[in-house]
Amino acid sequence: MGLLEDKVVLVNGGSQGVGAGIVRAAVREGATVVFTGRRAEVGEKLAADTGARFVRADLSDPAQARDSAVQAVDAHGRIDCLVNAAGLTSRGSLLDTTPELFDQHMAINLRAPFFAMQAVVADMTARKAPGTIVNIGSNCAHGGPPHLAAYSAAKAGLAGLTRNAAHAHRFDRIRINTLNIGWTDTEGEDATQRAFHGAGDDWREKAARSQPMGKLGQVDEIADFVVFLLSDRSGVVTGSVIDWDQNVFGGQD
């Protein structure tokens, strides 16, 4: 039996990158999976490859973030697990971030998880059923580089939201945790490195050499960890913000 056998899992932001890896891992572990994304072509291909159900949604719209949960419940009768994996990493420092860019980061990186969690927890509490939620955070919640000011602020907010919601619903047996991931090898990161940092085809090799473990974070490894946190095997853990990274925050040389 898989770790998520007979579970209904909603993965928001599941059409590519870390989210897509989580979709594949959850299906492999026996879950019935619904996932959202903005690009229909990409989402429909992943759905065809995995058997998961794709729902096209722009999560920057709170109504669509909530509706992703409604559609999953309509299709399968309930939601047992939620993953908030959508993320925006557009660059902007304190001095050059526009109000529009700031609002985009808050909409995708903080507001969308908030309202998706609101809808999913409402379903769980109405059924008096336990559940699990994993938010994909970032090590930028600890401060982040200067060029990710709004992103870092949103991810710090997500860490606070996780603790608040986990505390509020601990006696409902709804476990809520965040995984703060570090530098990860994804399609989106490849596009970001090329667009914002002028990176060439060898950027992955250069980046890997700069890391303690000699590689960037890998999507399949993150996905396996998320599946574990969603599953009953992770026990009673809730309200945890886990640094999934190879750099030790607070450590000094």
Query: Sign of torsion, CA 236 80 84 21?
Result: positive
| Residues identified as active-site | 151
pLDDT tens across 100-147, in order? 999 999 999 999 999 999 999 999 999 999 999 999 999 999 999 999
Output phi, psi for 80, to 5 deg.
-100, -30
- Comparing CA positions, the residue from 44, 87, 85 lying closest to residue 222 is 85
pLDDT tens digits, one per residue of 179-205: 999 988 888 888 888 888 888 999 999
